[in-house]
Amino acid sequence: MSQKQTPMIQQYLAEKEKQPDAFLFFRVGDFYEMFFEDAKKASQLLELTLTAKNKNTDNPIPMCGVPHHSVQSYIDTLVDQGYKVAICDQVETPQDTKEMLKREIVQVVTPGTKIDQERGENNYLTCIETSSQGYVLSYVDLGTGELQCTELETEEEVINECGQLQTKEVVRVHPLPTSLEEKLKERFSLIFSDHEAGEISRWSSLLENIVRPELRQCIADLLGYVADTQQCNLDHLQPAQYYQVDFYLQMDYYSKFNLELKKTIRTGKAEGTLFWLLNETKTAMGKRQLQRWIDRPLVKKAEIVARQEQVQILMDHYFERQRLVECFKGIYDLERLVSKVALGRVNARELGQLKQSLQYLPEIIDLLEEMEIPTVKHWKGYLPSLMELTDELEQALVEDLPLSTQEGGMIRKGYDATLDQYIEATENGVQWILELEAKEREKTGVKNLRIKFNNNSGYYIEVSKAAAKQITDERYIKKQTLANSERFSTVELKDLEKVLLEAKTKRIEREYELFVTLREKVKAQGPWLQRVAEEIATLDVLQSFAVLAEERNYCRPTFNEEHELKIIDGRHPVIEKVMGSNEYVPNDIVMDKNTYELLITGPNMSGKSTYMRQLALTVIMAQMGSFVPASQAKLPLFDQIFTRIGASDDLYSGKSTFMVEMMEASEALRKATPDSLLLFDELGRGTATFDGMALAQAIIEYIQQRVKAKTLFSTHYHELTVLADQFSEIKNIHVSAKEENGQLIFLHKMQPGAASQSYGIEVARLAQLPEELLIRAEAILQELESKEMTSTVVDTVQETKQENIDSSKEDTMSTVDMVAEEQLSLFQEEEEKVPDFCQELEQLDLMQTTPLDALLLLHRWQKEWRER
């Protein structure tokens, strides 16, 4: 690019330098063009033809372009792939200058500032900065006006919050720790956008609720980036609100992933999730609100009960609720419309959608008053002014509105006297020409006289060569002589031409002026419109809860402070919807105030994981304010949910399934409180049997002694079930199954006590492993179960017990310790009567006995001894 460039390319390069990390869409006539490397890359991403400017020179410039009328779809494609697009428009018209048109970047569209999101989706732009306490985080949805901030202590909390927000772009004023940036990029594929520090004083009106200087600066930095990229005022943004993550039921990134709250693990789609189940909303605002509530269930009983009360009212008023739903169906996305109005990006059709939406407000308020829903009192203050706005929009806008605001056809006749003149001129212009043509024929006597129009000559009178001799009137001015005709004009025709040509331009200009005036009137009502949108969103979610409760026979849960958990006939809500209520087997989950843990045993595929997820989803639904899938539900209020369900490697970080298990368990055990809910599924299975069993038992004991949180712990280590005999806070339950005619049948019913066997081979048979393999497995199993143990095993147990006593100051003992102690005391106290298995100990060949053989024998002897 060392060669001298044309003025236009110089202009392009100057603007490109301002946004080097963005595709520059450079307006040239009816196209947006890209040059150099932008053109090469965009042609591949957008499947455009790559051509060249100055093809005949030694250094042609790569070029591609898109039509201006369809540019938005191309911008969306690039932004959705994580790129930025700088829009460089012509800011002058040919009438303004005789020089090259001036062009400037008028907007930068980024993944975090895009406002035309899919219906019902938030798009959060986030700013993260280090602070004296750890981190501060702020976020904004430019499309809805939501502005929030919080404080976080650790990197993991920052990652969890970004995961919850599903942010795609982070504003960075100062470098963040490398480890945090790498984790954010790996997990969420977001982009970092560097920007200079913002001025706090510039945003004082939006910061009035925020006290801490670090938070105020973080928000100012975020808003400074938004203002610079969008090149417009941000009047629609709501004052920043501070929140703490513990204001809500906390769930980390992994727990939400495992519970499939909004995306399934297998497909990454909404179908089959809790959101999919609950989403009976009818508006885009309601859909977004539902997703926020799923991410952030409540922890305060009064707030939950207030939602429950409104759900009950809506259930009790079926017909009014149905009319309310019909109103909601006609309401467009008010939040996004208000934002587009404030940003100056609303089109004519969208203003019509706003008008249509506001027309439903009086009926909605009447219905709320009939049902005596408390929310209605908030509406009374701003309804009159909104109704005045609705009337004005109704009087001003035509029914069938165009998309463009630059081509006229938006404003009704009778709304503005000046516009009416222009409308009359454009609509009656043809008739005026025909009337003038008839009058000139009569005056001249030329029957084939015609008044015609073209872009070069404008309006003119045309007659044939022969008839031209009859034109003797001095009013006629010759314009052009053709082979077969002559063209003339008159003062009257010129005046009429001026009126007609100006009328079209003036009409478009006047309509746009009136449109801008209407837009400003809507903008002035922005805060009230945002309040209406919020109220409608909340009511929409609550009616969705009412519909589900009624159709699926959900019950209203109650909450207690005694840590009692009692769910009768509980169901997994999503699976029940898929299977049908007649097919699903309900189960109770009962834990009194003194029960901390349920140890769940049973065959694979029998429903243990479903049982655990069922409880978590029930808790989340209850603390959202929804009714729950059960015939009765009595719950404590939980502050956090931790899960370890399913097996997955963290390939990005090179962590195995077992390492991921241990990290998630560690996170839960460090952060859980007695008010938390822990769900551990097959913890410890990713390592050697004894290592896994030891870790599983230690975790169970740690929860029982230190954490004291409600915990569901499923396991195939049947040896751990003896813990229920040693600790009253631990209970055994199992999933029942039976064998009929050699086939394993899952009953999917929870029963008290431990499972008698694991049915591993039967499950493998259901998976259709080769029969020869299964027969061999059964033979090996019988061999293992029949092998015996010598007294050396007791010696080994004694040594293990002594080592544990010497190396640990904890009060607890392992299962092996307790069994050994029980066995040793037995031998000491009953010397005269030797137990039957002592002979087995003497005859056992220790060199041929594996650790697993020894453990199985020890377990059998313990069982035999207890049955004596």
Q: Which of these, 127, 151, 153, 154, lies nearest to 139 by C-alpha position?
A: 127
Residues 720, 855: contact at Cβ < 8 Å? no
CA–CA distance, 641 with 617 (Å, rounded to integer): 10
> Which helix (H) or strand (E) segment is 329 a member of?
helix 318-329
Length of the chain in residues, anyone? 868
- Quick one: DSSP state of residue 4? P
Residues 459, 493: contact at Cβ < 8 Å? yes
CA–CA distance, 181 with 192 (Å, rounded to integer): 9
Amino acid making up residue 585: V
Binding-site members for ATP are 602-609
- The encoded tokens of residue 71 equal 């540019």
What residues pair up with 750 in beta bridges, in sequence order?
735
Q: Which of these, 556, 571, 640, 592, lies nearest to 254 by C-alpha position?
A: 640
Q: Which of these, 712, 430, 697, 675, lies nearest to 562 by C-alpha position?
A: 675
Strand order in the sheet with 450-454: 450-454, 458-464, 485-489, 477-481
- The encoded tokens of residue 770 equal 């080769």
Q: Which sign does the torsion angle of CA 444, 448, 451, 455 carry? A: negative
Q: Which of these, 131, 328, 95, lies nearest to 213 by C-alpha position?
A: 131
CA–CA distance, 335 with 144 (Å, rounded to integer): 5
CA–CA distance, 222 with 171 (Å, rounded to integer): 6
CA–CA distance, 710 with 634 (Å, rounded to integer): 14
Per residue in 310-327, is it b (16+ CB within 10 Å) or e — as a string? Answer: bbbbbbebeebbeebbeb
Q: How far is CA 645 from the centre of its chain?
A: 22
Q: Tell me the three state secondary structure of residue 515.
A: helix
CA–CA distance, 253 with 155 (Å, rounded to integer): 12
Helix intervals (H) in 6-136: 7-18, 36-45, 71-80
Q: Is 598 exposed, middle or buried (0-12, 13-18, 19+ CB in 10 A)?
A: buried
CA–CA distance, 751 with 639 (Å, rounded to integer): 28
Binding-site members are 602-609
CA atoms within a 13 Å half-sphere pointing along the CA-CB vector of 326: 8
